[in-house]
């Protein structure tokens, strides 16, 4: 093996694991593929703006998803359905600008790829050219395989998304998918279809842990679980859920790692009290 090809075969420029590696170049889909071969697990988070994304990037999160969960978590919609391609392009561009190492995956929103492969290519091209993402994500297994094939043929890496697909909420609701023999077989067919179409990874959302483990063992591409138990290759959470910023109840599969809503509320109250009571600005916050 030449020195050059040896260097190219390294999983990352630091030669370390995907998570926590100190390399300076962007993670690529090839790094993700090699991580599955090494049996390495990795974390993924959503991100919708440059500053938050920069924290995740500095922390070493290898893959950030500019998810259309931005609809509920960032843009104030009731679901992901109203999110537009213009909105996704703007958010994805901000996340790319705020990061240096993470692979940025941009979600194709509802209505931007369902018409067929050509529409999918047109939409994905915008995310790649205008926002600078390294890969796109779209929902659907067998039903989306033609879209995935054309994107991959055109040089755009695709992360697929099966199980619960929130863009179809009006048809399927928010229910566990893949329960029962027939539904489990369909999920397996969907997983194989996206792999055969060339997807580099697949999100499994809200499926029984045992089924997710089976899918993970039969696929050679990595599975990214959300509500899919402990045996997927990677895990993703919506950042506002895991930080405790999302108001109200969050799904059972979410683990809260912080209480940002309380922290921010306390800080805002302290500021407002200082203003009302005259304690802010103090001498050290003033210029003369
Ligand atoms: O939009 C999103 O955040 C997602 C994740 C839940 C996988 O699709």
Residue pLDDT, tens place only, 25-46: 999 999 999 999 999 999 999 9
Helix (H, G, I), strand (E, B) or coil at 16: coil
Domain identity same for 144 and 217: yes
Mutate to test the pocket of ligand 1, among 205, 225, 239, 251 (most ligand atoms within 8 A of CB): 205
Domain identity same for 132 and 245: yes
Domain identity same for 125 and 183: yes
pLDDT at 228: 98
Please identify, by atom number, the ligand 1 atom nearest to the C-alpha of residue 107.
1
Mean pLDDT of 152-167: 98
pLDDT of 13 > 70? The answer is no
Instruction: Indicate left, alpha or beta for 21 from its phi (over 0: left) and psi (-120 to 50: alpha).
Output: beta
Both tokens assigned to 257: 């790692």
Domain identity same for 171 and 288: no
pTM higher than 0.85, yes or no? yes
- Confirm whether 153 is a catalytic residue: no
Query: How many domains does the structure of the chain reveal?
Result: 2
Domain identity same for 120 and 223: yes
- Of the pLDDT bands very low, low, confident and very high (cuts 50, 70, 90), residue 15 is low
- What is the 1 CA–ligand 1 centroid distance (Å)? 40
Q: Of 10, 12, 5, which Cα lies nearest the Cα of 63?
A: 12
Mutate to test the pocket of ligand 1, among 47, 68, 69 (most ligand atoms within 8 A of CB): 69
DSSP string, 170-202: HHH-S---S-SHHHHHHHHHHHHHHHHHT-SEE
pLDDT at 14: 44
Q: Which residues line ligand 1 (CB under 6 A)?
A: 46, 65, 67-69, 107, 161, 203, 226, 236, 238
Domain identity same for 174 and 263: no
Please identify, by atom number, the ligand 1 atom nearest to the C-alpha of residue 237.
6
Domain identity same for 180 and 230: yes
* Burial bucket for residue 3 (CB in 10 Å: 0-12, 13-18, 19+): exposed
Domain identity same for 26 and 168: yes
Q: Of 45, 2, 11, which Cα lies nearest the Cα of 224?
A: 45
Please identify, by atom number, the ligand 1 atom nearest to the C-alpha of residue 224.
7
pLDDT of 11 > 70? The answer is no
Q: Which domain does 273 fall in, by range? A: 259-288
Domain identity same for 166 and 187: yes
Domain identity same for 181 and 50: yes
Domain identity same for 132 and 252: yes
Percent above pLDDT 70 for the chain: 94
Both tokens assigned to 129: 């050219």
- Of the pLDDT bands very low, low, confident and very high (cuts 50, 70, 90), residue 7 is very low
Residues 113-127 have pLDDT tens digits of 999 999 999 999 999
Catalytic residue among 87, 130, 182, 205: 205
Domain identity same for 264 and 251: no
Is 137 annotated in some ligand binding site? yes
Residue with token string 């859920």: 241
Q: Which residues of 262-280 are buried (b: 16+ CB within 10 A; e: fewer)?
A: eeeeeeeeeeeeeeeeeee
Mean pLDDT of 140-154: 98
Integer Cα distance of 153 and 5 in angstroms? 24
Mean pLDDT of 184-199: 98
């Amino acid at each position: 093996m030449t020195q050059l090809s040896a260097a190219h075969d390294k999983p990352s420029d630091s030669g370390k694991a995907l998570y926590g590696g100190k390399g300076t170049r962007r993670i690529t889909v090839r790094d993700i593929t090699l991580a599955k071969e090494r049996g390495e697990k990795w974390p993924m988070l959503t991100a919708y703006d440059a500053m938050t994304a920069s924290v995740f990037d500095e922390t070493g999160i290898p893959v950030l998803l500019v998810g259309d969960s931005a609809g509920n978590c960032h843009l104030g919609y009731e679901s992901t359905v109203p999110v537009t391609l213009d909105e996704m392009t703007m958010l994805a561009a901000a996340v790319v600008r705020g990061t240096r190492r993470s692979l940025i995956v941009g979600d194709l929103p509802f209505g931007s790829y369902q018409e067929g492969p050509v529409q999918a290519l047109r939409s994905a091209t915008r995310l790649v050219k205008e926002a600078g993402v390294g890969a796109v994500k779209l929902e659907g297994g067998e039903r989306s395989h033609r879209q995935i094939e054309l994107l991959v043929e055109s040089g755009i890496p695709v992360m697929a998304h099966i199980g619960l697909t929130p863009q179809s909420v009006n048809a399927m609701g928010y229910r566990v998918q893949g329960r029962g023999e027939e539904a489990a077989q369909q999920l397996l067919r969907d997983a194989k279809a996206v792999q055969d179409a060339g997807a580099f990874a697949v999100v499994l959302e809200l499926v029984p842990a045992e089924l997710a483990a089976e899918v993970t063992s039969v696929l050679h591409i990595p599975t990214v679980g959300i509500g899919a138990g402990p045996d997927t290759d990677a895990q993703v959470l919506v950042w506002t859920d895991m930080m405790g910023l999302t108001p109200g109840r969050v799904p059972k599969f979410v683990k809260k790692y912080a209480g940002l809503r309380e922290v921010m509320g306390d800080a805002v109250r302290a500021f407002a009290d200082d203003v009302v009571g005259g304690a802010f600005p103090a001498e050290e916050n003033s210029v003369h």
